[in-house]
Structure 1
Amino acid sequence: MIDTVILDVDGTLVDSNYHHTLAWARAFGEKDLHPPLWRVHRAIGMGGDKLVGHVAGDDVEKESGDELRDLWSEQFDRIIGEVTAFEGTRALLEAVKGQDRRLVLASSGQPQHIKTFLDLFDGTSIADAWTTSEDVEESKPAADLLDVALERVGGTRGVMVGDSIWDARAAKAAGIPSIGLRTGGFSEAELREAGAVEVFDGPEALGEAIASGLLDRLTE
């Protein structure tokens, strides 16, 4: 039986993926690097420790990885106030708790960013636990974040909800099912190919499905 729902935050509960894309593009630009925006966007969802090398190559990671991550943080801080929660986010959280499941908001983002996001939908008042980059050694698509999430609430069987192929791959690595949301810009086909067993347009639709017994059906 699924006893824990692990919810990604960036791009899943809050509409931040394109802000991240812009912040990364500006950070790369400060180092006179100009990867196409589509390539940056496609990497959003994996941790910053892996994104630089994935987008710009291992040599750039070795030479400037830490500096680029600092630049990204500075750029993102300038626009984080523009990020909003998706419609239905709070209702989704309430639907999970209404099904008597443990709820973990699992992010490998920076603590100050996660606090800002949780405040958008009062996440700390309803979640059983949450994570930040300080809680894991390796970010998605590694399974570390999901392992920590389950351990934090004493869960034995979880399901991961995320907006990117990196979330689905992390769930597969952790040996748990995943549900995809199209809010991050990935198609249903891509999310399913990465391992998602169900795909929904956004938090509102998923919340309605959970209230109608989705989690029990996933267990069958």
Structure 2
Amino acid sequence: MQIDGVILDIDGTLVLSNDAHAQSWVESFARHGYEVPYDRVRSLMGMGGDQLMPKLIPELSEESDPGKTIASERKRLVLDEYVSQIKAAGGARALVQKLLEAGLHVVIATSASPEELEVMLKIAEVDDLLHETTTSADAENSKPAPDIVEAAVKKAQLAPDRLVMLADTPYDIEAAGKAGVQVIAVRCGGFSDQELAGAIAIYDDPADLLNHYDRSPLGQSPNPDSKL
């Protein structure tokens, strides 16, 4: 398997933010009279809000109130109240440096908003390293729809089978699969190996992948002639 580029998820992959996102959803729903169990919300981390909200409360949508307000308040809770609890995943910066040093084309693909992404990249201490991004602003539908991954593939200008996505949820794996991209998964997002079964390899976190880099699917030299 020849890999020339990496599509990077951020939440749960480079930063340990899934718990904070889940709790912010629970609180925002509750403020508007919707009691949603934390465990139910937590199991859907990796989905964008446009997908998650109607799955939890079918009558709600981010396109109209009260769903629109709930989604907005959820973001503010993360950025204003929970951000101090969010930490970088082990080895996040070192792994990104390794990918870049190996000559791999690295593109971010996240369901987060541009504002959230900016904060998370700083927490992961990679904001000076990563500059090619695709966010919720670049896709009509968020993960597990393939839109964001497809946007990242297009931005990288590489064939899907020359890319691998580094991610942490079954929804990432589903989205990437629909876009023709295979996934290397990390457990630090809080999902089980069974839930991540569609990945071609699973590691504890970026540090674990880095420690096994040469034996991983990434341990191959890039082929610059594979660009479309």
Shared fold by TM > 0.5? yes
Of 79, 82, 87, the residue aligned with 2:90 is 87
Ranges in structure 2 where 5+ consecutive residues have no aligned partner: 223-228
**What SS is found at the alignment partner of 2:201?**
strand
**What SS is found at the alignment partner of 2:106?**
strand
Bigger mean CA offset, 77-86 vs 20-29: 77-86
**What SS is found at the alignment partner of 2:14?**
coil
TM-score in terms of structure 2 length? 0.88
Q: Could you tell me how far apart the structure 1 residues matched to 2:214 and 2:118 are?
A: 27
Q: Could you tell me how far apart the structure 1 residues matched to 2:4 and 2:93 are?
A: 19
Of 154, 166, 190, the residue aligned with 1:185 is 190
Q: Could you tell me how far apart the structure 2 residues matched to 1:60 and 1:171 are?
A: 26
Q: Could you tell me how far apart the structure 2 residues matched to 1:155 and 1:208 are?
A: 27
- Displacement of 1:132: 1.9
Alpha-carbon contact 1:92-1:207 (below 8 Å) kept? yes
Of 199, 202, 206, the residue aligned with 1:199 is 202
Of 71, 74, 81, the residue aligned with 1:72 is 74
Q: Which amino acid aligns with 1:92?
A: L
Q: Could you tell me how far apart the structure 2 residues matched to 1:5 and 1:128 are?
A: 13
Q: Could you tell me how far apart the structure 2 residues matched to 1:213 and 1:93 are?
A: 15
Q: Could you tell me how far apart the structure 2 residues matched to 1:37 and 1:125 are?
A: 34
Identity over aligned pairs, percent: 33
Aligned pair count? Answer: 215
Ranges in structure 1 where 5+ consecutive residues have no aligned partner: none
Bigger mean CA offset, 155-164 vs 59-68: 59-68
Q: Which amino acid aligns with 2:31?
A: E
Bigger mean CA offset, 73-82 vs 120-129: 120-129
Alpha-carbon contact 2:10-2:108 (below 8 Å) kept? yes
Instruction: Assess, with a 3 A threshold, how the Cα gap between structure 1 residues 24 and 216 changes in structure 2: closer, same or farther.
Output: same
TM-score in terms of structure 1 length? 0.91
Matches within 5 A, 1:44-123: 44-56=45-57, 58-61=58-61, 64-77=66-79, 78-123=81-126
* Coordinate RMSD, CA, aligned: 1.8
Q: Could you tell me how far apart the structure 1 residues matched to 2:53 and 2:178 are?
A: 22
